[in-house]
Amino acid sequence: MRTSSRSSPDPTEPAQREGLRWRWVRHGTAEEQPITGAVIFDYFGTLTVATPAATRRAGTARVAAALGVPSDILFEATTSTFTERSTGRCGDMLATMAWLADRCGHRPDAAQLESACGVRFEIECGYARMLRDDALVTLQALREEGLRIGVVSDCTHELRDIWDHLPLAPLVDAVAFSITMGERKPHASLYLSVCDRLGIDPPEAIYLGDGGSNELTGARHVGMSAVRLVAEDAADALVYDREPDWGGPVVHSLTEFASALVSCDRHRPPGW
């Protein structure tokens, strides 16, 4: 299973040109963060639209019906075990489903397990494909400007398994998934892994995320600059371990974030 769309940086690519440096500069503010050549994104709720908690509950109800357990009990079991499930501690998808059923006090038969896994895979893949309207154009624009792209995601098996089939995968140079790494954000290993695959040191990158999993603090702890995305759909979303007191910079769209990246080799637009 692929963990990076490119195993090592290509020194002939634009991002590797000597002297190419960027600043992230908020229009009309004094906020400025230096970077050199890499932008690292969270996935769910950042590159994808945020999934409302009610939608998550409805999806869990479908899985519960296939598994043969009450939906409210499965929802509680699912939301309280994200760390175990997203780091692979429960085994593969089938083993994880059996582990969840056991926590619900149920011993499903093989057919129920297969059915429940199939339903969950369909639902989770649907969430993974719900890209923001400006996601692809943002990644493409950043790449055309010579910036390398990374993704760090706390995720269960589904995102990793369909990654190569997502339309943004060819635009991403390196990924780090919790399900593969065995740790979840804000553990330093995820950030350091994606930086290593991009061929950079953490201070050379800027991180954008919705603040789940205390990811922004984690990014800062390894030396990255960090920006929080607060989109309109974030209010009703189910977010694990949301960043409690983020005092750093904030944007409200991917487009706004990208527009604040200014090459140090160019003149700033009027008014900046």
The pLDDT, as a whole number, for residue 146 is 84
**pLDDT level of residue 37 (50, 70, 90 thresholds):** confident
**Does position 115 have pLDDT exceeding 70, yes or no?**
yes
**pLDDT level of residue 49 (50, 70, 90 thresholds):** very high
**pLDDT level of residue 35 (50, 70, 90 thresholds):** low
Region 184-195: what's the mean pLDDT?
Answer: 98
In this predicted model, what pLDDT tens digit does every residue of 73-94 receive, in sequence order? 999 999 999 999 999 999 999 9
**Does position 165 have pLDDT exceeding 80, yes or no?**
yes
**Does position 201 have pLDDT exceeding 80, yes or no?**
yes
* Cβ neighbours of 194 (radius 10 Å): 30
The pLDDT, as a whole number, for residue 271 is 32
The pLDDT, as a whole number, for residue 239 is 87
**pLDDT level of residue 10 (50, 70, 90 thresholds):** very low
Residue 12 φ/ψ region, left for φ over 0, alpha for ψ in the -120 to 50 degree band, beta for the rest:
alpha
The pLDDT, as a whole number, for residue 267 is 36
The pLDDT, as a whole number, for residue 129 is 97
Provide, rounded to the nearest whole percent, the portion of the chain with pLDDT above 70.
83
Strands 148-153 and 174-177: parallel
The pLDDT, as a whole number, for residue 244 is 80
The pLDDT, as a whole number, for residue 262 is 60
Instruction: Determine the Cα–Cα distance for residues 152 and 174; give it in Å rounded to an integer.
Output: 9
**pLDDT level of residue 36 (50, 70, 90 thresholds):** low
Provide, rounded to the nearest whole percent, the portion of the chain with pLDDT above 90.
70
Region 125-154: what's the mean pLDDT?
Answer: 95
Higher pLDDT, 3 or 81: 81
CA proximity to 129, closest of 176, 163, 85, 170: 163
Instruction: Determine the Cα–Cα distance for residues 7 and 36; give it in Å rounded to an integer.
Output: 20
